[in-house]
Structure 1
């Protein structure tokens, strides 16, 4: 992620510290799909696996996934969406990029046809041909690190949007699912202590504000659909937490008692954080603008047309 200091987003080392610990450890609480993202729940009786499948279908539908298209999956995880796009939607090809070596190895071992999985930072990606769709499911949280200013974050996000715009066909779609900052956290010592712990479990991770993504995409994409499903993440996390607690001894054997306990504490905090709206879960669908432009000059629009409070510019005066 380029800025004045050449920041490129989360480092491979930081990604490995969180993700490359043990596939079996993640299977304990994520379930057999290894879907490490918020599900999409119904009001009635539901299961984690159904919620994850429903989330996949919603996002793929928003992206316009259909037979014969080329897709880029940024932060492809364990390949669940890639497999579904090939097996159920008959896409021509899917390229998946991630900074987790464990995820690359796992997905490659699945042997999904017409897929290319790479250990690659998005900023280093060079497509061989335009994509018809790009999906990015809970990877954007790693595009900024704690301590970055809002301006620096927007600059980095805008670079991502610029690249996506240049990589895709004019009629394509970009679909993003991401954790965002919500209401201000209560100033509670225990909560702040657990938040600090979360920075060690999820190193170099700093979610966006929705306004930062809107500013970064301005003039490059139109935001055509938006959902805020923060309560869905609280429900997802409750199931993950129950799964982890049910097999706590096995988890400790796989990654060590300290790391297993840290994950459990972070998830317990996150259940409350999402339920109370401290964090949001945004699902956004973007459509490329026909011709990229600089961000809108809002001062001009907001004030030049204010004829009752400012002199009318000569070029706007009606011809007499």
Structure 2
């Protein structure tokens, strides 16, 4: 299921919804707009997921659900993730100019579920999508910023992510027949179960999405 999950759910990042009846694509585009605005009016944009070698003079930074990909599940379990994140923030500091702002989102882990059945469902999904084992906690990001970046704003998008997951769930169900024909019954069922579990975990505050705005520390 791992190999076809991105095909069935091509953009699993959180959409930012309004109170109106948005379409999923509109909500996904709004996420990019919100992050760009939070990063300020800089003209040279640095993507935190693709830090270049050498020097730089970037004046805005965006990291859109990329920190989870920088940390392996083993590093997370061993407590080595803070060192990995700190090196990323230090490198971003070295590539930017004074006054730079950073806007980032990251999938975060909340409370553990109390239900044994829910725990078993999450374990099954994590086997299929190992990324979820890398989920950070908001305080991890704050600690890793160190002396390079100061956290100025923190916002949760738990409701937005739950709505995004439900939107993908609806699309999977609407296209059940062609998807089963193309990918097979087992693959379709596994993907549907994964998205259902993901949506439930977000609604129950086991997973969430946090958006942070950070300012470069200039000493």
Q: Give the direction of change, closer, same or farther, for the CA distance of 1:268–1:21 in structure 2 (3 Å limit).
A: closer
- 1:258 matched to 2:186: yes
Match of 1:63 in 2: 39
Match of 1:129 in 2: 56
Match of 1:210 in 2: 138
- 1:200 matched to 2:174: no
Map 1:114-263; keep pairs closer than 5 Å: 125-127=52-54, 129-147=56-74, 148-149=76-77, 151-188=79-116, 190-204=117-131, 205-263=133-191
Question: Whose radius of gyration is greater, 1 or 2?
Answer: 1
After superposing the two structures, state which structure 1 stretch, 128-137 or 242-251, moved more: 128-137
> How many angstroms apart in 2 are the aligned matches of 1:245 and 1:54?
25
Match of 2:18 in 1: 42
> How many angstroms apart in 1 are the aligned matches of 2:54 and 2:4?
30
Instruction: Name whichever structure is richer in helix by fraction.
Output: 2
Aligned-partner SS, 1:274: helix
Report if the CA contact (8 A) 2:45-2:59 is conserved: yes
> How many angstroms apart in 2 are the aligned matches of 1:181 and 1:239?
21
Task: Give the CA RMSD over aligned residues.
Answer: 2.4
Higher relative contact order structure (alpha carbons within 8 Å, sequence separation ≥ 6)? 2
Report if the CA contact (8 A) 1:158-1:216 is conserved: yes
Q: Give the direction of change, closer, same or farther, for the CA distance of 1:145–1:129 in structure 2 (3 Å limit).
A: closer
> How many angstroms apart in 2 are the aligned matches of 1:156 and 1:253?
42
Aligned-partner SS, 1:286: strand
Aligned-partner SS, 1:215: helix
Give TM-score scaled by structure 1 length. 0.61
Map 1:296-315; keep pairs closer than 5 Å: none
Report if the CA contact (8 A) 1:229-1:281 is conserved: yes
Report if the CA contact (8 A) 1:40-1:51 is conserved: yes
Measured against aligned partners, the alpha-carbon deviations of 1:227-267 in whole angstroms (never above 9, x if no partner) come to 01111100010000110111123333444433332221111
Count of aligned pairs? 217
Unmatched runs of 5 consecutive residues or more in structure 2: none
> How many angstroms apart in 2 are the aligned matches of 1:192 and 1:175?
32
Match of 1:281 in 2: 209
Give TM-score scaled by structure 2 length. 0.87
> How many angstroms apart in 2 are the aligned matches of 1:224 and 1:175?
10
Unmatched runs of 5 consecutive residues or more in structure 1: 1-16, 76-96, 98-121, 292-320
> How many angstroms apart in 1 are the aligned matches of 2:56 and 2:81?
28
